[in-house]
Every structure is written in structure tokens, then in C-alpha cells.
Amino acid sequence: MQTPRVAWIGLGVMGSPMAENLIKAGYPVRGHTLEPEKLERLAAAGGTPAASVAEAVRGADVVVTMLPADPQVEAVVLGDDGVLAHTAPGTLLIDMSTVAPRTSAALAEAAAGRGVRVLDAPVSGGEAGAVEGVLSIMVGGAREDFDRAGPLFRALGTTVVHCGPHGAGQTVKAANQLVVAVNIQACAEAVVFLEKAGVDLPAALEVLGGGLAGSTVLERKKHNFLARDFAPGFRIDLHHKDMGIVTEAARAVGAAIPLGGVVAGLVAAARAQGDGGLDHSALLRGVERLSGAAT
């Protein structure tokens, strides 16, 4: 069978390396984003830059969106000159952005009226996972569409799971972001506690990482904590948005998330104090402020 033609909308920190991994896997990729330098990067990787959403998606078999938040996804997909206005019936739209479950369900309903099939397929693994092609991908939508997209997903990630109907992928991603935020906050508090106690921090984090306290978060963010290197892999601004999603979704189903509420407030505080553009490991700075340490 002919390799599907892919339109990729959104070439940010995650989107660029993900699109490049599809190109390496042999997919023809035509991409659009608002940043000219990202289009140049796509071209250098062997993709085809497009000047508009319409140009990118016209003739595509699969359209992938990887955008910051609900408003951008809704505008790109539902806008007068957006994805649905220029795709043919039978096209598969895969939204890999992180948005509210209700948004994914609404997109699927709108697309069905035009004969376009939809999967919500948010990812976890951060920039490193995107670059290495080892993302965890949680997918909502029809099983047959998930099966159809299987080879594409396997070019991007190593853990690819069909989680249920439209919106299920986003619900699982919301839970993922809850766990990650709580984990980062716990690691940050441990770092400050250890330093104030005068313990050798690298040694302490090494032994913690080998026991029950070990986690992917600690492994991936250990350098950030040790070097105070908060160059954005996943910005606090975005995690703030995601904590709003999980808070709303939990309220909608009647699930109490008391610890999640506390951490959502701490993420919001970090953002209000000017750390929104930093990596979410910069929650450490908030703990330092609360502990009277300079940041």
C-alpha cells in the first residue's frame, strides 16, 4: 500500500521532532506553522513547507495537529479556512495536542458531518521523548481508525494504547499531567530538603532513583534540579493549562483531586511569579522561595 501523505500542523518544541521522525520513517510530510524558521527546519529534514493550513492539508490522507491549547486547535480545525474546510471525506484527523476531553468530542462530532474521521492522541514524554521517538501515546476514537494509524504512531512512540472513545485519550493525558505535576513538586521539595540538610545532593538523587522513590520524572529532570537548568522542554505555562484541564474534567465526573488542587495552585503561583516560560522542573524555584532561598 502507498504510504499515507501526512499534513502536519504545528511545529513547536514537540511537533518539529515528531514530524521529522515521520519523515525518517518514510512518510511524505507537508507542514505548516507560524514560525518561518520552523518551516526551514522541516525543509532541511526533507519535508515540504506549506504557507497555510489549506495548502498543507489539501490532498493529505492524514492530518496531524500538534498545537498549544484548545483555542488554537479549534481555530485550525473548525475555522473558515481550516482543516475541515479543505479535507476530503475519508481523511483521518489526528489531534496530538493536549486539550479538554469535551473539545476532542466536539471536534469529532463536527468532523463526522464532513466525513472526516478523528482520533485524539495526546502524548507524554517531553521533548526528549519526541526527539528519540519513544513517546507514550494515549488514543481516543474508533478502534478501526486507531488500527489504521498504528504504523504512524509507532514511528513516534513506543507505548501506544487505545484508551476508548473520543475524548478518552485526553482524559488519560489529563491524569498523566496530574501525576507528573505532583511528582515534580515532590522531587523539588526533596531537593530543597536535602540541600538544606547538607546532604550530597547528586549522591542522594542517585540512591533515590534506584529505589521505590525512583521515577521517570526524577530520571529525566535530575539534571535540571542539579544544574538549575530550566531551559524549556515543557513550559510551566503549558502545565498550568493542563492542570486547568484536569481540574475541570475531574469536577465534571465528580472525582476529588485534593493533592492535584494544591499542585495546580503551586503551578499557577510559579507562573504568576514570572516562571511561566521555564521548564516545569522550575517548580523547584517556588519551593526555594517558600524556604527562604534565593532564586
Residue type for 4, please?
A: P
Residues near 106 by beta carbon (within 8 Å), at least 6 away in sequence: none
CB neighbours of residue 201 within 10 Å? 16
Does 173 qualify as catalytic in the annotation? yes
Residues near 167 by beta carbon (within 8 Å), at least 6 away in sequence: 101, 102, 104, 105, 108, 120, 140
d(CA 110, CA 129): 31
Among residues 24, 38, 173, 196, the one annotated as catalytic is 173
Return the C-alpha cell found at 17: 521532532
Among residues 153, 100, 93, which one has the least CA distance to residue 123? 153
Dihedral of alpha carbons 244, 76, 130, 279, sign? negative
* Alpha carbon separation from 287 to 31, 192, 223, 232, 293 (Å, rounded): 40, 7, 17, 18, 9
Sequence length of the chain is 295
Rounded to 5°, angle at Cα 98 from 96 and 103 = 95
Cα distance between the two ends of the chain: 56
Residue tagged 521555564 (cell numbers): 278
Question: Where are any strands of DSSP class E within the chain?
Answer: 6-9, 29-32, 48-49, 62-65, 92-95, 117-120, 123-124, 135-140, 157-164
Return the C-alpha cell found at 183: 511528582
Catalytic residues: 173
